[in-house]
Homo-oligomer: A and B are copies of this chain.
Amino acid sequence: MNMKRTEISELGEFGLIEHLAKKITINSPHTLIGIGDDAAVLDARGKKILVSTDLLVEGVHFDLTYTPLKHLGYKAAVVNFSDMAAMNVLPVQITVSIAISSRFSLEAVDAFYEGILLACGRYNVDLVGGDTTSSTSGMMISVTVIGYAEEADIVYRSGAKEDDLVCVSGDLGAAYAGLLLLEREKTVFEAHPEIQPDLDGHDYVLERQLKPEARTDVVLVLKEKGIKPTSMMDISDGLASEILHICKESKVGALLYPEKIPVDPQAAGLADTFKMTPLTLALNGGEDYELLFTISQKDYEIVKDIEGISIIGHICDEASGVHLVSSDSSLLPITAQGWDSFK
């Protein structure tokens, strides 16, 4: 562990920017000028531009007592990449702004940007701008992501049609199980600092919470197979919240089959510990950053054979509402219990 501590005030804001800029390379033909002037200069190369932005606040979105700064940087970038995947688009550029208090050393800021740049490298994204400032209390991170696409390839929330199939990538519930586990160990540690955290055997759920990935690979596979989803979102606030968004924007209803919902087995195994059902973890947990999308019935034969895609239900008319079909065929209304920072 590197114990050196350099104060940010030794460098000042411009020194810090210069220090960070040295580590940044520009790779995309969409990037003409990155960091260094009053604005970055980008080139859409004839495509449409997609822009999304996220704000992450210490104590609300992340807890530095159990989140390493490198992981935090990685996650801050990836959750924004996921917003591009949600539009059926690959991320190309990001800007990253951070506010940090004087308790952060240069080494801490470096660890954060190491995570950002690791994510950028893995997803072929250029870091093209940002802002760094001091904060009077906690850390705050603002990321804006930019991608490019032909208009015909963009997928909105509003395109789901009656009889479309509802699909989800990967597995659900693990990120939230990981969070509950970390919160439990934090509580134990605060009461009994001598007790070592008990996190053994929970690698998958912890990694899903601390180091999620954006499913840009799913975007590429669907494209390769010639499939354009009729609607899509990424699952950041929980499956229940997201299917309700799609149904509302598309003016449709949906029927989901609980036994088809891909709950991660490790998360399911932990559900009891947290007095929840595995299904609740998947429906209301959030932060899995999997893709929820609808496809036309005609694409069923292709999609059913794609590994890691589950078909979990179908779209119905708006008046029928949004329900789970339980094993005795009774209908349970789906309500949003997803995470809301204001509630």
Contact = CB atoms under 8 A, between A and B. Distances in A.
A84 interface: yes
Contact of A38 (B132, B234, B343): B234
Interface in A270-326: none
A51 B99 contact: no
Contacts of A134: 57, 60, 341-342
Interface residues of A, number: 71
A97 B41 contact: no
B95 A37 contact: no
A116 interface: no
Interface in A17-48: 32-33, 36-44, 46, 48
B146 A60 contact: no
A38 B60 contact: no
A41 B49 contact: yes
Interface in A41-72: 41-44, 46, 48-55, 57-61
20 contacts: A36-B249, A38-B52, A38-B234, A39-B50, A41-B49, A41-B50, A41-B151, A44-B44, A46-B46, A51-B128, A51-B129, A53-B95, A53-B144, A55-B131, A55-B140, A58-B136, A97-B142, A133-B342, A135-B138, A137-B138
